[in-house]
Amino acid sequence: MIGETVTTTGQLFGTVLAVQANFYRVQLDPEDREKKSAHFPILLCTRRTRLKKIGQQVMVGDCVVVEEPDWAGGRGAIAEVLPRTGQLDRPAIANVNQIMLVFAVADPPLEPYQLSRFLVKAESTGWDVILCLNKSDLISAQEQQEISDRLLAWGYQPLFISVQNNLNIEEVVTHLSHKTTVIAGPSGVGKSSLINALIPDINLRVGEISGKLARGRHTTRHVELFELPDGGLLADTPGFNQPDLDYQPEELVHYFPEARKLLKVAHCRFSDCLHRDEPDCAVQGNWERYEHYVEFLDEAIARQTQLNQQADPESTLKLKTKGKGQSKYEPKLESKKYRRVARKTQLQALQDLYQDSEE
């Protein structure tokens, strides 16, 4: 019978590779693949209604339990999501081991501020950070050494590669082997070309470079995990130029390796020091990215202030009930400045004035 479903008593375990609408592409674990699904290592699954009722989200990278596999149709149902070791909300992905940032040293040129922003975002995840600098064949050995020395002062050992010339690609493979890695970076630096080199049959579309802006066009629109030939999973993320820095202001200093190094050998006078204007601060000093730190700190403080205002909407907003029982907050108006005096109040004032004139 076509589409016959074979129900197994044991559980199948797998990893969610992609989420598309209400379907999930799940790659079965190697043991289950060898024993039960040699011809269908990937199942297209739905989510059990029970998971939906309890609000259990299924993310790319989740380790899941699959039930009732239909081997003929390559389908199944996700019955359980195993505990996560960590997750990102943007992009939505779970159980990552490391982040690999890809930048170009030329065409487009390396921008220290943009690189610093990506590094801080990567550090905030708590995962290991690998920094790959592509198109290194376009710069001289001296320029490469200058960039290396600069980034070493930041606390990073960059890996210079060239996808075009197949330079140091094997070293990249070694870093990714048997790990789940998120690859990120701005558009136009060669991320898709690098993934094509790492996974030859993936056939990702490589974006063209906009000559006017010297930046890449957006080529990747969703998060998906790809299996590496030598083991491991690689997650591509949509290209973007300015990642959001969603952290607490007091956490920011720990996302700069050079600042962490300073705090290991000295202490600030105040325990709640933000390392900006406070006296006897151990972090304020002549390290290159301190200006970046101050700018990112101002951004974090502004974001925190906005969140606090949203958490207390009654301070500036009022709750107004609309039709069909729907409610929403609207800005409060200052009564004396904006609101017209009520007719009853006006009549009462005229009556009082008339009585005063009679007396």
Query: Are the C-beta atoms of residues 337 and 343 closer than 8 Å to each other?
Result: no
Instruction: For residue 176, give both structure tokens.
Output: 């990714």
Question: Which pLDDT score is estimated for 211?
Answer: 46
pLDDT recorded at residue 6: 43
Closest CA to 257 of 163, 122, 136: 122
What's the full length of the chain, in residues?
Answer: 359
Please tell me whether residues 100 and 198 are part of one structural domain. yes
Contacts of 46-49 with C-beta under 8 Å, sequence gap 24+, read 46/22, 46/75, 46/77, 46/78, 47/22, 47/77, 47/78, 48/77, 48/78, 48/79
Helices (H), ranges, 87-188: 112-124, 141-154, 169-176
Which of 16, 11, 18 is closest to 66 using CA atoms? 11
Average pLDDT over residues 309-336: 58
**Whether residue 326 has pLDDT greater than 60:** no
Q: Is 185 annotated as a binding residue?
A: yes
74 part of a folded domain: yes
| Range from 30-44, 115-129, 185-199, 259-273 carrying the lowest mean pLDDT | 30-44
Together in a domain, 236 and 269: no
Is residue 338 in some structural domain?
no
Mean pLDDT score of the chain: 82
Is 187 annotated for ligand binding? yes
Range of the domain at 136: 93-213+220-240
Of 98-112, 178-192, 238-252, 324-338, the range with the lowest mean pLDDT is 324-338
Q: How far is CA 252 from CA 185, 225, 247, 295, 326, in A?
A: 20, 29, 7, 11, 39
Residue 199 lies in a domain: yes
pLDDT over 80 at 8, yes or no: no
60 DSSP assignment: B
Residue 62 lies in a domain: yes
Q: Do residue 151 and residue 228 come from a single domain?
A: yes
Confidence class for position 240, pLDDT limits 50, 70, 90:
low
Residue 37 in marked binding region: no
- CB count within 10 Å of CB 293 equals 23
Question: Checking DSSP bridges between strand 327-331 and strand 317-321, what pairing results, if any?
Answer: antiparallel
* 232 & 105 share domain: yes
Question: Is 45 among the annotated ligand-binding positions?
Answer: no
Q: Are residues 53 and 104 in the same domain?
A: no
Q: Is 192 annotated as a binding residue?
A: yes
- Say yes or no: 224 and 280 in one domain: no
Q: What is the tens place of the pLDDT at every residue in 144-170?
A: 999 999 999 999 999 999 999 999 999
Question: Which pLDDT score, from 0 to 100, does residue 312 have?
Answer: 63
Give a yes or no: residue 2 inside a domain: no
Known binding residue 137? Answer is yes
- Domain end marker among 83, 102, 126: 83
Q: Is 285 annotated as a binding residue?
A: no
The answer to whether 268 is a known ligand-binding residue is yes
Residue with more model confidence, 108 or 240: 108
Q: Is 188 labeled as ligand-binding?
A: yes
CATH number at residue 137: 3.40.50.300
The pLDDT value given to residue 115: 96
Structure confidence by residue, pLDDT tens digits, 294-318 = 999 999 999 888 888 876 655 555 6
Judgement on whether residues 228 and 281 belong to the same structural domain of the protein: no
Q: How large is the average pLDDT for residues 107-132?
A: 94
pLDDT per position as a tens digit, 203-230: 654 444 444 444 444 444 567 888 898 8
Instruction: Specify the higher pLDDT residue, 50 or 34.
Output: 50
Tell me, yes or no, whether 138 lies in a domain: yes
Domain count, the chain: 3
Q: Is residue 292 part of a domain?
A: yes
178 is in an annotated binding site: no
Q: For position 290, which CATH number holds?
A: 1.10.40
- pLDDT grade for 5, boundaries at 50, 70 and 90: very low
Question: Does the global pTM surpass 0.85?
Answer: no
Is 344 annotated as ligand-binding?
Answer: no
Please give the single-letter amino acid code of residue 267.
Answer: H
Structure tokens belonging to residue 116? 């610093």
Residue 63 maps to which CATH number? 2.40.50.140
22 and 117 housed in the same domain = no
Q: What is the pLDDT of residue 339?
A: 56
Q: Is 191 annotated as a binding residue?
A: yes
Is residue 97 located within the same domain as residue 232?
A: yes
Note whether 162 and 73 are same-domain residues.
Answer: no
With 90 as the cut, is the pLDDT of residue 44 above it? yes
Query: Is position 120 within any domain?
Result: yes
Q: Is 29 marked as a binding-site residue?
A: no
Average pLDDT estimate for 41-69 = 92
2 pLDDT band (50/70/90 cuts)? very low
**Is the predicted pLDDT of residue 321 greater than 90, yes or no?**
no
- Domain identity same for 56 and 26: yes
**What integer is the mean pLDDT of 325-344?**
58
Residues 97 and 65 in one domain: no
Do 281 and 275 touch, CB atoms closer than 8 A?
yes
Percent of the chain with pLDDT over 70: 74
Q: Is 322 annotated as a binding residue?
A: no
